[in-house]
Amino acid sequence: MRRYLYRGRILSLAIEDGHWEIVEHKDAVALLVQDPQKGVLFVSQHRPAIGRRTLEIPAGLIEPGESPEQTALRELAEEVQLTGTLEKLAEFYVSPGFTDEKTYLFRVHDPRPAQGVPDDDEDLTVLWRDPAEVLEEARRGELAISASTLAGLLIAVRDGG
């Protein structure tokens, strides 16, 4: 039995069986764009939840009625003005001890320019970085990265470029 304490914009809070604190959250996509010369494409942004700027691969929430692939192409256009061919690399739950949020990680093949306008509330800087360097800075705690960024970086270093 799930009793709801809050129903909001991107998440809801419930107690299950009088014991488990559960956050229902929209699913997400994350996008690995890799170039043999330039490295991996990142967005840097301030994240109110952690009070820090993060370095993350492009990502976004799946809206009702969208497939993960549709969200991926929409976010690619909005956040970094690109399009391309998608290959699913992984799917995972971000923290299944408390939330149902699932993330689909895609590689973007043959990226090319596309038209797109960022959301109003997104203050994004787009940049390319060497994935091995970012991994090491994140390991030392100097950079804040997301789970999907860590997975994308490990795959980027594995596959080279």
Contact between 127 and its own copies per CB under 8 A = no
Helix (H) / strand (E) element for 139: namely helix 131-139
The terminus-to-terminus CA distance of the chain in angstroms comes to: 49
CA 56, CA 127: separation in Å to the nearest integer?
A: 10
Q: List, as own/partner pairs, every contact residues 115-118 make where C-beta atoms lie below 8 angstroms and the sequence separation is at least 24, other chains included.
A: 115/77, 115/81, 116/74, 116/76, 116/77, 116/78, 116/79, 116/80, 116/81, 117/78, 118/78, 118/79
Q: Does 120 bind its own copies (CB under 8 A)?
A: no
Is residue 34 involved in binding its own copies (CB under 8 A)?
no
Q: Restricting to residues 93-112, which ones interact with its own copies according to CB under 8 A?
A: 93-103
Residue 114 or 144: the one with the smaller Cβ distance to its own copies is: 144
Choice from 25, 31, 79, 86 touching its own copies (CB under 8 A): 25
Least distance in angstroms from the C-beta of 62 to its own copies = 13
Question: Which 77-96 residues touch its own copies, going by CB under 8 A?
Answer: 88-96
Task: Respond yes or no: is residue 101 known to be catalytic.
Answer: no
Nearer to its own copies (CB atom), residue 47 or residue 113: 47
**Residues identified as active-site:** 122
